[in-house]
Chain A
Amino acid sequence: MTQDQIESLLKQADRTAGPPAHVSVNLSALRRRAGRRRTIATAASVAAAAVLIAAIGILSRTTDTLDSPQPQQRIASLEDQVKHLQATTDAALKLIGEVLEDDRNQRRLGALHAQLESIPDPREEIRKDVDKTAFNLVYQADRLYYELNLTGSAVEAYKQVITLFPKNQWADVARERLADIERSRINKSHPKGEPKWKLQNATPSC
């Protein structure tokens, strides 16, 4: 089937279908319809513009109404958050300060303990001083008795040591001397000799 055959067939088919019914275009009706279309188009444009303006107005009003409380609420919320953060920070700083202070106190206490441990015991010092004093008195008494033959003064000095430091070791030494002196008085014959031990070489236990 060629293009011409198709064209011919189509034309014959069109011809046999007959012409359409006569169309009388009613111009007055057409103008009325055109007028209505124009009116509708104008009204639609006006309505669309009005709707647009109203929408913009509502939107701007809504935006205004929304804008005013929102920042205030946000500011209030932010202030609350800042306050909360400040409170948290203050509490944390306080805790840190307390921990640091406690640490400082602990270190100070440790230093004081060390310092305290380094300080000698005063009672021991006093005991040493007492011992030294008692030794000096016994030494002086021994010199009175053995070197100067002042037996009466020596006995007084020994008794003074026993009176002042009764529990001291030199008080015991003084008692032994007094006992020797008493024994020598009883024996009379016993000559005065060297002391059994040299006081000069004896040193108090420090």
Chain B
Amino acid sequence: MVVMAESADHELLVRQFNRGDESAFEAIVEQFSDEIALLANRLLGWPGDVEDVTQDTFLAAYLGLKKFRCQCSLRTWLFTITINKCRTYRYKRMLHLQRFSQAARRASSASHRSADSPSMDSEAFEQVRRTVRALPPKYREAVVLKYLEALPTDQVAQILGISKNTLQVRLNRARKCLKLNLADLMESNL
């Protein structure tokens, strides 16, 4: 019931924006900016600074909202844009790292050294985050949307543009990978 009401509100906002009411977009930004930032933070491996991706996501939404036909929920649509923007961001970052690989290696070793000091728990969770970051993008996206965003399978499949079966396959493989890399950690915790 709540979901349906939310969906109707979002549809109304979209119509208002399409009629030229700029305040409708301000309402959308206010409503979804934190969610988008959180998702981007998780998808990019918890870097903390996700402002660029969030700005790009809302810019794309601003430019494309007139083409939005409300065939899915506004959240799903915005999440799809976020995923695409994160992919682009990662690709650009990869190119940048390739170009300045030596500097990246130095930065990586510095971050490892700084991570030695915290407690065991924070070290363990950092290991989990590193493992998630190390997953292939298509598995990481599925894991983040399914387990961290806690979205239903249908919605995750819709956001990623894949079938439910494909999503299950990706989640299975991601779990196997996580089990393999986090086995020691789980044994010590248990």
Residues of A within 8 A of B129 (CB): 13-14, 17
- Inter-subunit contact A34/B63 (CB<8 Å): yes
A22–B48 alpha-carbon span in the complex (Å): 9
Does A11 count as interface, using CB distance less than 8 angstroms? yes
Kindly provide the distance from the CB of B65 to the nearest chain A CB, expressed in whole angstroms. Answer: 10
- Inter-subunit contact A23/B51 (CB<8 Å): yes
Does A31 count as interface, using CB distance less than 8 angstroms? yes
- Inter-subunit contact A13/B128 (CB<8 Å): yes
A11–B62 alpha-carbon span in the complex (Å): 31
Within 8 A of A (CB), among B139-181: 143, 147-148, 175, 178-179
A16–B128 alpha-carbon span in the complex (Å): 11
Shortest Cβ distance from B185 into A: residue: A9
Kindly provide the distance from the CB of B22 to the nearest chain A CB, expressed in whole angstroms. Answer: 8
Does B34 count as interface, using CB distance less than 8 angstroms? yes
- Cβ contacts A30-65/B at 8 Å (1 or 0 each): 110110011000000000000000000000000000
Interface of A is mostly: helix
Most buried by A among B42, B58, B183, B185: B58
- Inter-subunit contact A3/B125 (CB<8 Å): no
Residues of A within 8 A of B186 (CB): 1, 5, 9
Residues of B within 8 A of A31 (CB): 22, 62
Residues of A within 8 A of B179 (CB): 1, 6
With known contacts A9-B128, A20-B37, A21-B49, A14–B59 Cβ distance under 8 A: no
> What is the interface size of chain A, counting residues whose CB is below 8 A from a CB of the partner?
30
- Inter-subunit contact B125/A11 (CB<8 Å): no
A33–B60 alpha-carbon span in the complex (Å): 10
Residues of A within 8 A of B121 (CB): 16
A21–B49 alpha-carbon span in the complex (Å): 6
Residues of A within 8 A of B48 (CB): 18, 20-21
B1-9, B25-33, B87-95 - interface stretch: B25-33
B residues sitting closer than 8 Å to A (CB atoms) are 22, 25-26, 29, 33-34, 36-38, 40-42, 46, 48-51, 54-55, 58-59, 62-63, 121-122, 125-126, 128-129, 132, 143, 147-148, 175, 178-179, 182-183, 185-186
Could you give 23 example pairs across A and B, Cβ below 8 Å? Answer: A6-B147, A9-B128, A9-B182, A9-B185, A10-B128, A10-B148, A12-B128, A16-B121, A17-B129, A20-B40, A20-B49, A20-B50, A21-B49, A23-B55, A24-B33, A27-B25, A30-B55, A30-B59, A31-B22, A31-B62, A34-B62, A37-B59, A37-B63
